Amino acid sequence: MSKLTALPAWLALQRHYQDISPLHMRDMFKADPQRFSRFSLQFEDILFDYSKNRIDDTTLSLLLDLAKQSGLAEKIGAMYSGQKINTTEDRAVLHIALRNRSNRPIYLSGRDVMPDVNRVLDQMRQFSEEVRIGIRRGYTGKRIRDVVNIGIGGSDLGPYTAVTALTPYIKSDFRPHFVSNVDESELLDTLDQCDQETTLFLVASKTFTTQETMTNAHSARQWFLAKARDEEAISKHFVAISTNARLVKEFGIDLENMFEFWDWVGGRYSMCSAIGLPIALAIGMERFEKILEGAHAVDEHFRTAPFERNIPVLMGLLGIWYNNFFGAESHVVLPYDHHLAFLPTYLQQADMESNGKGVDKQGRRITDYTTGPILWGQSGANGQHAFYQLIHQGTKLIPCDFLAGAQSHRHLGAHHPILMSNFFAQPEALMLGKTLDEAREELRKEGVDGERLEFLAQAKAFPGNRPTNAFLYRKLTPRTLGSLIALYEHKIFTQGAIWDINCFDQMGVELGKHLANTIQKDMAGDASIASHDGSTNGLINYYKALR
Ligand code: G6Q
């Protein structure tokens, strides 16, 4: 038995689950008119309503006991004080330093990291302003119009999500692009829209060794030189965002044009580092700093708020309640805010790469509890016309997060109120459901009776009692975006701390990379391959015949 499942709070939660699981939230709301005010919290203008969860006061107090007994407070302290909590890679985890607007010293091995953080922020400010106002121009003197970020995973998803989320703040004569996939279609489709004289490439790679990114960067360089015909011009059109100065130099990028970050910034936690340069270019450095401010405010909340009023802690605990006691396997994120359409994809990496682990921090295989959920989602209302059926009436329990802004950036007739009516209706429907009697009554009114009525009533009844969280904020501003991202980051941390796993490595992505390198060699020539398993040999040989 693991240490976690032997904790008194864990055992008490197992027993408590037997009491809670037969209860319906419909009845809990009827019995307690104060349920919403007791189970909701506000952080700045973000309202977090968690009252539509299958919990009561005892559940919460047992979950909070679990947090305490798992040493969550000490683990938060260890992260904020620069301890090397990423033990497999022997690294500290200090994305909180990237947005430490208080400038309070944060020490890593006795050295304050803040001067380095501030130096790179200054460099980003100067560069992005010079590009935006046209001081820094292309090799023929024309203004930069297209910025192409070449990066993948953590060096792509964060800035892409932020730039998409903050579309209303982008200068109209500025076009951001993101190329991540090694499939040439993505790079070529992007380059078709660009002109060498007015395009700036940001090669974003922490290691500067990633195969996809380096392949795309070399092809972009060739495309650029085909017109510019002068290697000197590269410095005006290529910059690097990396921790690896040696390889940046070897690529031919002047170190003056390198934006540094550090090994204590995990790829999927790097949006607030120099990896955010495309965001600063798109919306301006001042607004980029608003993202940092929003994230910092949540970092302080996570660090200082008592657990019972700590939103990321509660988000994490609620997830654990469903994941480990109800057996829920997935978690869905549903933004009713079109500009956040990419958030579920971003969170997929943040959550699944962090908490998709099967070994605990002592290096033991985890056998008696489950870790990170499958995270998925899509913007509302689109999902309603696609997969919500399964959430409402399927046999699986899928906890949901709904997010929406009370105000939209642009206005058109009744569009936004209609969107919001759906944002309110779906969690209500998921919670209330529709009883068999209600379904029968509706059918009777429609003139259906007898066996047909009973048959249809079964299909039309909804069990309800499906848990949802709602996040309602004023408007999707840079600050709000920063706060939302940090809330989820710390939720992930909370869960990883309780599951006793390392959220900050990603060994699981290595095996495929390694095999791809071997296979690339096997793909040369037409000779038939026999060195892999039967299926892989068969596929490679069929590919050789078709290509
Ligand atoms: C994120 C992962 C991974 C990484 C990419 C890109 O946490 O480590 O998604 O960001 O593999 O790596 P580079 O930035 O080194 O190219």
HEC profile of 220-244: HHHHHHHHHCCHHHHHHHEEEEECC
Which residue among 86, 93, 150, 155 is best mutated to probe the pocket of ligand 1, counting the most ligand atoms within 8 A of its Cβ? 155
- H or E segment and range at residue 468: strand 468-473
The per-residue pLDDT for 31 is 98
Which residues line the pocket of ligand 1, CB cutoff 6 A?
A: 152-155, 205-207, 210, 213, 266-268, 353, 506
Ligand 1 binding pocket mutation candidate from 91, 95, 152, 215 (most atoms within 8 A of CB): 152
Q: What is the pLDDT at residue 295?
A: 98
Q: Rounded CA gap, 161 and 413, in Å?
A: 27
What does the block give as tokens for 348? 């997929």
Q: Is 385 a catalytic residue?
A: yes
Give just the sign of the alpha carbon dihedral 93, 95, 98, 101. Answer: negative
Residue 24 bears catalytic tag = no
Of ligand 1's listed atoms, the one at least distance from the Cα of 154 is 10
Per-residue pLDDT of the chain (547 residues; tens, 9 = 90+): 789 999 999 999 999 999 999 999 999 999 999 999 999 999 999 999 999 999 999 999 999 999 999 999 999 999 999 999 999 999 999 999 999 999 999 999 999 999 999 999 999 999 999 999 999 999 999 999 999 999 999 999 999 999 999 999 998 888 999 999 999 999 999 999 999 999 999 999 999 999 999 999 999 999 999 999 999 999 999 999 999 999 999 998 989 999 999 999 999 999 999 999 999 999 999 999 999 999 999 999 999 999 999 999 999 999 999 999 999 999 999 999 999 999 999 999 999 999 999 999 999 999 999 999 999 999 999 999 999 999 999 999 999 999 999 999 999 999 999 999 999 999 999 999 999 999 999 999 999 999 999 999 999 999 999 999 999 999 999 999 999 999 999 999 999 999 999 999 999 988 887 888 889 999 999 999 999 999 999 999 999 999 9
Q: What is the phi/psi pair of residue 43, to 5°?
A: -120, 115
Ligand 1 nearest-atom number relative to CA 268 = 7
* Tokens coding 321: 């309640």
Query: What is the rounded CA–CA span in Å between residue 193 and residue 199?
Result: 10
pLDDT recorded at residue 511: 84
DSSP output for 5-62: GGSHHHHHHHHHHHHHTT--HHHHHHH-TTHHHHTEEEETTEEEE--SSS--HHHHHH
Nearest CA to ligand 1 atom 10: 154
Q: Which of 353, 357, 489, 491 is catalytic?
A: 353
Containing 479, the helix (H) or strand (E) segment is helix 478-499
Sign of CA dihedral 232, 233, 234, 236: positive
Q: Considering only CA atoms, which residue is closest to atom 9 of ligand 1? A: 153
Q: Which of 385, 411, 445, 514 is catalytic?
A: 385
* Chain center to CA of 36: 27
Residue 403, both tokens: 């997010």
d(CA 266, ligand 1 centre) in Å: 8
Give nearest CA residue, ligand 1 atom 2. Answer: 267
Angle at 93 between CA 322 and CA 514, to 5 degrees: 85
Is 513 designated active site? Answer: yes
* The pLDDT value given to residue 294: 98
DSSP string of 397-440?
A: ---EEEEEESS-SS--TTHHHHHHHHHHHHHHHHHH-B-HHHHH
CA of 356 to the centre of ligand 1 (A): 16
Which residue's CA is the nearest one to ligand 1's atom 5? Answer: 153
Tokens, residue 335: 């933004």
Hey, which of 88, 157, 268, 347 would you mutate to test ligand 1's pocket, going by the most ligand atoms within 8 Å of its Cβ? 268
How confident is the model at residue 509, as a pLDDT?
85
What's the pLDDT score for residue 339? 97
